[in-house]
Structure 1
């Protein structure tokens, strides 16, 4: 029996909590300020990988000279997980979009025709309408830490802060309850956590591997060269991560393939090497199949021509968006159904019983908060249920495939509800509250639940007790929410949300719920039959692929790869995965598992070199207040 490793939580939290405050400030002042490499859009967060690298180097030096004061592997890994959770909170899709969302309706409504639904909006959940407060927020040159600003913004920030803590705590509890099933019984690989665990090992033996440093140096050298060439054009460059549309010059009908982007990310190849070979094959095969279906649809006059950059013509063949809805929901439902016997045993496990109780209490508390705030009683139940199912699916897929950057552009609860039920069935109040609850469903790249589950898996592999770690994660979430809100509000009050001092992507995305509401308002639509048929087809195809994988040994195509390719998540990375598949298949065929293990440090080096370099130049861009060459995804 493996001995449990004690974690000294005093020193661990003493290091993690200040770093959380600094990390959320870094996110606010880099991603939200200049167009540098975004550090919260990857499954292994770029910024956190950089911080973990520095901590590993520093801890190795401390261990050499002051061994008793060095962090143990489990302690260092716990710091990594808490930093990852803080990046989820502060990052893109969560608080990264939040504060402008609160007031964008009042700021831009009169000029965009949104005033017609103002009387239906829950003003108690949104930010101030006072012109003076809006001027401070959008034009800047002031401070959030004034009595007037704190009183005006305080109620809505407090409500949503508590809301987020309950929501993320619910997801954390579900991750705790599912860890044993997915890690110990189904033996999912959790490839994303491989590099952090290596960096947290005592003495970091990875740093003594020559192949690791060879992999590290390649992206570091070329990204640095490309960055310097952007600043000094006389220098040479090799922008291999600049997207090239292979179909850009094609005439109809070949333009029906849509955009086929070719670019290379060292981290994409590195993560691909960690994934099962069948999964790798399936990921690029299904990407090609999607493009072929688009082309076929154009040749048969079932689909209009378009660039297909963001799933144009979703109501036309092959109905990719609608397939995605059914596929994503059925992955979760099937996984939970397969685990039904496991769930029956959870009440006998004290930790899991507490986690499930916590998840139920959190869900009911969120529902009660929203209903007491005026939401129709049914709406939070439906929306939050779909949200949690999508988070469970995303978490499972990341546990299997190391999804590099899970951009699920058209997979969200609000689109499902308004399309499958039809806007005609929803009242103006229903639609207004649905828009109000859409802000945290615009982008799932910085999702909390995958980070939490990977954290529990990594801590268990470090032979550390999970219950105190779970409470540490709850504390990390609370600190991250408060610090991120304060950083964001101060950032916009100083720089101005509507000025050239900020990256306008986030303030613009924060208007999406109100733009969607305007669209729902204008189109009084019945339930979409194409959407229902597409969703059923997606669900059936996913189940069929699962059955074929189970019944026929060696069947190469996986349902997870099909599901991922129904989103934008693989559009920029299919070539990385094709290269990784060729390399991995060759290594296993001609050198076996021994050569694979020998080569693995090189690919871990590709990942870390890519991310450390991107984070370093992000900090340089922050310091210079300038746009710097983007290393990822570009």
Structure 2
């Protein structure tokens, strides 16, 4: 009897493939133009201002639907989970670069002072002599089409004028993102393996790409999807045909009614029920969702007390909420470094070739390569700052603060899935100017601070947390981390190219200073802010140093560390330092009530059904996110294409 051939082993599932990388890179231009038209021209939605970008989830959902058909009719061509997650990562990192807090700000900063300088603002006499023109666009003839529109980017003189500053900034950001990647390589094992941080933001992409399609077979998911989708469809119809009934999610704003002192100090306090935010809130630990809305009112209470007692007389920024928040962010970073100190010692020992408990054979880079990359990258960044007039010790402090804030944002996302991390107007440029005093800093240093507004105005579309989430996705899906690292760097570089391309193309067609821009906030206000501040700094005698601001930064840092210590001592302690840090932001003003709603629902579900109840309800809340992002994203695209009024489900 002939021997039967042994069955061949099952084929390994495809993970990181050329076609997945190529498709992800190919979708970056589409997403870049989508973001520019949505966030800048129509000001209709803001996908890059939350931790989970709705444009990326929309594209992933379309690919998952196509993949379901492929698995049924052409299984040989179907994508694996690893391939779909690769595309998700590439699109996320590409979208960061064109985001609301990166190149949208940077390109406005590069052009604004030369077009808007007037005898009244005296910008030309105050600081034109120290502006690094090779990083900017000083040519008024080139800027004419940029601001007035009805022109074309694709003229030789225009392309050549922009080529040099754009290339220099892309090179700068390539090094900066490389430094972030080296930091993520160093911390990967500690966060992903040792501490087993949960990375809540990637829960939805992981479940969407699960090859069992378990999420899409769950009735609860489709109920949540339908509810969120119905809200978007009904409210879009209402905006375009007012006779159609509305489903009110943006109920009111307290400042409509609280117009008298001291209650008007509350400022904007929206009452909004946002389906996707309720879904994201359900993914958060209870102490964080509670802390987000609790500390939101903590900051509001400080403002009201200040108005009651007149503490801000002569100090209009009191009680220095931005400074307190920045201190809280720095406190989170210090905690991360402290809790990782023994691990980092082993990393350095391994990098130096000494006996170590760690094996870096399976790391994205060897620890030696990561450490060398970090040192070389930091040296290049410091050289760039010093070459542009920044005093050397200020350059060191500036970069140290920026990287600490970057580590803090990444840790927030990895451990807790913070839905937003703005930190408006409190980057290293601001912290150094208020602690040292602007009048004690050199004029070229202050001029570079104005340019650094392009990546320090806020931190919502920060690339570093997306990189760390990429390594978590690799662990879960089996993606090889070494090639994935280079794919993520390539995605950022390609995204940077298309970010500039999309912004310049659209501005030369529409005009950055015309009525074609629904709200002039991005092209004009983003550019105006740093130069108005620079003019205040340089107008004699300059702003005085207020020691209280330094004390409030230290107070925010100390309070953050106190909350961290209390969480370690008392398991029941409900106040989380991350909630303190993120709750003063623009985003939290819109999110607080939705996060409070999610906290109440999750608390009740856990009380009634325990962990099993939580898991049973999870698909419903994921459906809220998916329905809002897919239906809202589709409506956003159709509205951009056909010009009807758009319901903004966010922002």
Superposition TM-score tier, normalisation by shorter sequence: over 0.9
Give the aligned partner of residue 288 of structure 1.
Answer: 297
1:7 is aligned, of 10, 15, 36, to 15
> Is residue 81–residue 451 contact of structure 1 (8 Å, CA) maintained in 2?
yes
d(CA) in 2 for partners of 1:457 and 1:337? Answer: 22
Q: CA deviation at 1:395?
A: 1.4
Give the aligned partner of residue 559 of structure 1.
Answer: 577
Aligned residues: 622
3-state SS, counterpart of residue 262 of structure 1: strand
1:239 is aligned, of 248, 253, 270, to 248
1:400 aligns with 2:382: no
d(CA) in 2 for partners of 1:209 and 1:32? Answer: 37
2:534 is aligned, of 517, 524, 538, to 517
**TM-align CA RMSD:** 2.1
Q: How does 1:404-483 map to 2 (within 5 A)?
A: 404-483=419-498
Q: CA deviation at 1:299?
A: 2.6
TM-superposition CA deviations, 1:90-116 (whole Å, max 9, x none) = 111111222232121100012532112
d(CA) in 1 for partners of 2:550 and 2:616? Answer: 49
Give the aligned partner of residue 190 of structure 1.
Answer: 199
TM-superposition CA deviations, 1:197-237 (whole Å, max 9, x none) = 00111142211111001001111111111111111112111
TM-superposition CA deviations, 1:24-71 (whole Å, max 9, x none) = 122223322212112211110010011011111111111111112111
d(CA) in 2 for partners of 1:70 and 1:589? Answer: 42
Q: CA deviation at 1:373?
A: 4.4
Q: CA 1:254–1:34 in 2, change beyond 3 Å: closer, same or farther? A: closer
Q: CA deviation at 1:167?
A: 1.2
Q: Structure 1: which 5+ runs fail to align? A: 306-311
10-19 vs 566-575, which moves further: 566-575
> Is residue 170–residue 359 contact of structure 1 (8 Å, CA) maintained in 2?
yes
2:553 is aligned, of 535, 540, 558, to 535
1:485 aligns with 2:500: yes
3-state SS, counterpart of residue 257 of structure 2: coil
Query: What TM-score, normalized to structure 2?
Result: 0.91
3-state SS, counterpart of residue 101 of structure 2: coil
> Is residue 56–residue 204 contact of structure 1 (8 Å, CA) maintained in 2?
no
3-state SS, counterpart of residue 511 of structure 1: helix
d(CA) in 2 for partners of 1:458 and 1:550? Answer: 28
Q: CA deviation at 1:273?
A: 0.9
Q: How does 1:545-556 map to 2 (within 5 A)?
A: 545-556=563-574
d(CA) in 2 for partners of 1:135 and 1:425? Answer: 37
Give the aligned partner of residue 237 of structure 2.
Answer: 228
1:108 is aligned, of 103, 116, 127, to 116
d(CA) in 2 for partners of 1:573 and 1:304? Answer: 31
1:161 aligns with 2:170: yes
> Is residue 5–residue 462 contact of structure 1 (8 Å, CA) maintained in 2?
no
Give the aligned partner of residue 616 of structure 1.
Answer: 634
Q: CA deviation at 1:304?
A: 6.1
Q: CA 1:172–1:4 in 2, change beyond 3 Å: closer, same or farther? A: farther
Give the aligned partner of residue 629 of structure 1.
Answer: 647
1:273 aligns with 2:282: yes
d(CA) in 2 for partners of 1:119 and 1:627? Answer: 45
1:48 aligns with 2:88: no
TM-superposition CA deviations, 1:137-158 (whole Å, max 9, x none) = 1112222122111221111111
> Is residue 145–residue 151 contact of structure 2 (8 Å, CA) maintained in 1?
yes
Q: How does 1:373-384 map to 2 (within 5 A)?
A: 373-384=388-399
Give the aligned partner of residue 356 of structure 2.
Answer: none
Q: CA deviation at 1:626?
A: 5.0
1:339 aligns with 2:330: no
> Is residue 36–residue 621 contact of structure 1 (8 Å, CA) maintained in 2?
no
577-586 vs 522-531, which moves further: 522-531
> Is residue 246–residue 262 contact of structure 1 (8 Å, CA) maintained in 2?
no
Give the aligned partner of residue 3 of structure 2.
Answer: none
2:270 is aligned, of 261, 268, 274, to 261
3-state SS, counterpart of residue 573 of structure 2: coil
> Is residue 453–residue 530 contact of structure 2 (8 Å, CA) maintained in 1?
yes
384-393 vs 236-245, which moves further: 236-245
Give the aligned partner of residue 380 of structure 2.
Answer: 365
d(CA) in 1 for partners of 2:188 and 2:608? Answer: 35
Q: CA deviation at 1:461?
A: 1.0
> Is residue 283–residue 577 contact of structure 1 (8 Å, CA) maintained in 2?
yes
Give the aligned partner of residue 67 of structure 2.
Answer: 59
1:119 aligns with 2:122: no
